[in-house]
Homo-oligomer: A and B are copies of this chain.
Amino acid sequence: MLRLSKLTDYAVVVLVRLDAGTQVQTSPCIAATTGIPEPTVAKVLKSLSAAALVTSQRGARGGYRLARPLEDIPVGEVIAAMDGPITLAACVDGSVTECESLALCPVRGRWDPVNEAIQRALSAISLADMREAAIPAVFRVPPDADLVRVPRNAELGHSNASR
């Protein structure tokens, strides 16, 4: 279904959440305000930090902060940070590992225009666009909710219900 991983979905939520407030935010805090389990939030933030989409501050009173405003983060970059480079087919990216039956492989490079089209589409949409997209005001996060300090195990029961 061409679906992207759930981690990428979380990453967008986390990044939008991180946009509220200029203070650094800790991963337990973000977990509490988004409803995503804390270890998962930590994992997402680590990946985002590795991709230089957020900056981290270690130690006590540390946390995470957006490296750039949401307007400057295309959604394609988030996907690439979480799921790796965007390549539809196997024979597309730099790894020219040569399909074994080379004389018969008719796939070679065939998906390139499709990949480019998707890349373009994903580069044209920024997280700021997604932030405001079709979300009722009820779901908007209050801009100062990041200031609440919550204890470690404040779980909100976001364990998936659909299985």
Interface residues of A (CB under 8 A from B): 1-4, 6, 9, 12-13, 16-17, 33-35, 75, 79, 83-90, 97, 100-101, 103-114, 117-118, 120-122, 124-125, 129-131, 133-136, 138-141, 156-162
| A100 touching B134 in the complex, CB below 8 Å, given contacts A2-B88, A83-B1, A125-B113 | no
Contact present for A101 and B35 (CB under 8 Å):
yes
Main secondary structure on A side of the interface with B? loop
Partner of A34, one of B75, B104, B124, B160: B104
User: From A130, which residue of chain B is reached at the shortest CB distance?
Assistant: B110
Q: How many copies does the complex hold?
A: 2
Contact present for A110 and B83 (CB under 8 Å):
no
17 example contacts (A-B, Cβ-Cβ < 8 A) are as follows A2-B87, A9-B89, A13-B106, A17-B106, A35-B104, A35-B105, A75-B114, A100-B160, A110-B130, A110-B133, A110-B135, A111-B130, A113-B130, A117-B121, A117-B122, A117-B125, A118-B122
Contact present for A89 and B133 (CB under 8 Å):
no
Max chain B CB contacts within 10 Å: which of A13, A86, A106, A120? A106
| A114 touching B109 in the complex, CB below 8 Å, given contacts A1-B85, A156-B101, A158-B100 | no
Q: What is the distance, in angstroms, from A33's C-beta to the closest C-beta of chain B?
A: 8
Contact present for A134 and B112 (CB under 8 Å):
yes
Q: Bound state CA distance, A33 and B101, in angstroms? A: 11
| A106 touching B130 in the complex, CB below 8 Å, given contacts A86-B2, A114-B75, A125-B113 | no
